[in-house]
Amino acid sequence: MINPPIDSIVCGDCLELLRGVPDNSIDMVFADPPFNLKKGYRSCKDDLSLQEYLRWCEKWIVEMVRVTKPSGSIFVHNIPKWLIHYSGFLNNYADFKHWISWDAPSSPMGKSLQPSHYGILYYAKCAKQLKFHEVRYPHKRDRKSGFLLKDYGGKKSMLHPFGPLVSDVWTDIHRVKHNKYRDEHPCQLPIHLLERLILMSTDEGDVVLDPFSGTGTTAIAAKRLGRHYLGFELDAVYAEVSKQKLVEEDAASKLGGCWVSFYLKKVVTLRDMDWECLQDFFFLPDAVGKIDSAPITLKSNYLQ
Ligand SMILES: C[S@@+](CC[C@H](N)C(=O)[O-])C[C@H]1O[C@@H](n2cnc3c(N)ncnc32)[C@H](O)[C@@H]1O
C-alpha cells in the first residue's frame, strides 16, 4: 500500500515522503525541481553549491526510479545545464527514451547563445516494458489566415485531419506568463504540458507522482484526465493552494469516452488510437484539398 495515500498533496520533504512509497508502485513520475537559480521560493534555498545541489538531485532521482513500475515513465524538467548531469545519474538506473525540447525563448545573457528551450528528460524504467501511446497535436497555422504553416510538398492527401504526431520538439505550448492564469509561485508550469505527458505514458486509473508539486499542476492534470495523483511539496502555502484548486477539478477532460487535453476551448493533445472515435466531435474539411486553408473545429456543444 502507498503511504501517504494516493489522491493527496502532502506537505513535507520529498526525500522523506518518497521513503513511504513502495518499490515499483507508480506509473508516471514527473519532477520539476528547484533549478538552483536563486528563485524566490517561500520555503527552500535555491542557491546551493554545485556539489551540494547535484548530490541532492541524485538522491531524489534514485528514489523516483525505485518507486516507478517496470512499465512506468520517468520525466524530469530542467535547464540543459542540470539535465546533462541528471542523464549521467539516470543512465545507471533506467533507459533513455528522449530529451524533449520545450521551446521557451528567454532574454539574451551576453557572450552566449540565447537560451531558448527547457528540456524534459524522458526515461523508461525498463524500455522493453514501457507503456507508451502516440499523441497528436493540431497542425500549426498562420494566426490570421488559418493557412497551414508547413509546405507538405504535394502530399496533402496524406496529412492527418487533426494534426501531426508529437515529436521531441514542442513549440505549441507556451509558458504561463499572464498573472490572470498564475498562482503566487515563481515557476508554475502549464497544465496542458503535463496533460500531454500523462496522455502519452499512462491510462485511466494509473498513478502519477510529482515530488516537487508546487501549486499542484501535475495533480490537476492527472485528476482532469481520470488518473490518480500524489504530490509532495515542502511549502505549506503552495500545498494548501494546490488542495484548494483540486477541490474545484473534475475528471472531465473528455470527448465521449476518450480523454483529451484542452486549452482555451481547443483540443491540444489527443491519442492517435482514439481518433476513430474522436473525429465525430469535429467539423472536418469537406475535401482533403481544403486542409491547408480550413482548420478543423470542435462542434460547439463539445466546447469545454
Ligand atoms: C520548480 S517548482 C515546481 C513547480 C510546479 N511544477 C508547478 O507547476 O507548480 C519546485 C517546487 O519544489 C518545492 N521544493 C523544494 N524543495 C523541496 C523538497 N525537498 N521537497 C518537496 N518540495 C520541495 C518548492 O517549494 C517549489 O514549489
Q: What are phi and psi of 200, to 5 degrees?
A: -65, -35
For 84-127, the pLDDT digits (tens) are: 999 999 999 999 999 999 998 666 677 788 888 999 999 999 99
Distance separating alpha carbons of residues 77 and 230, to the nearest angstrom: 18
Closest C-alpha residue for ligand 1 atom 13: 212
Cis peptide, bond prior to residue 285, ω within 30 of zero: no
The residue to mutate among 233, 237, 242, having the most atoms of ligand 1 within 8 angstroms of its beta carbon, is: 233
Q: Which residue has the cell 546533462?
A: 84
Is residue 217 within 6 Å of ligand 1 at its C-beta?
Answer: yes
- Write down all domains in the chain, each with its CATH number in brackets: 8-145+164-253 (3.40.50.150)
For 206-226, the pLDDT digits (tens) are: 999 999 999 999 999 999 999
Is residue 233 within 6 Å of ligand 1 at its C-beta?
Answer: yes
pTM of the predicted model as reported, rounded to 2 decimal places: 0.94
* Confidence tier at 294 by pLDDT (50, 70, 90): confident
Please report, as a single letter, which amino acid is at residue 202.
T
CB proximity list for 211: less than 8 A, separation 6 or greater = 14, 17, 18, 29, 31, 33, 60, 63, 64, 232
* The length of the chain, given as a count of residues: 304
27: left (phi over 0), alpha (psi -120 to 50) or beta: alpha
Is residue 79 within 6 Å of ligand 1 at its C-beta?
Answer: no
Closest C-alpha residue for ligand 1 atom 9: 214
Distance separating alpha carbons of residues 210 and 32, to the nearest angstrom: 8
Per-residue model confidence (pLDDT) at position 303:
63
For 238-267, the pLDDT digits (tens) are: 999 999 999 999 999 999 999 999 999 999
Closest CA to 133 of 268, 228, 269: 269
40: its cell numbers: 524566490
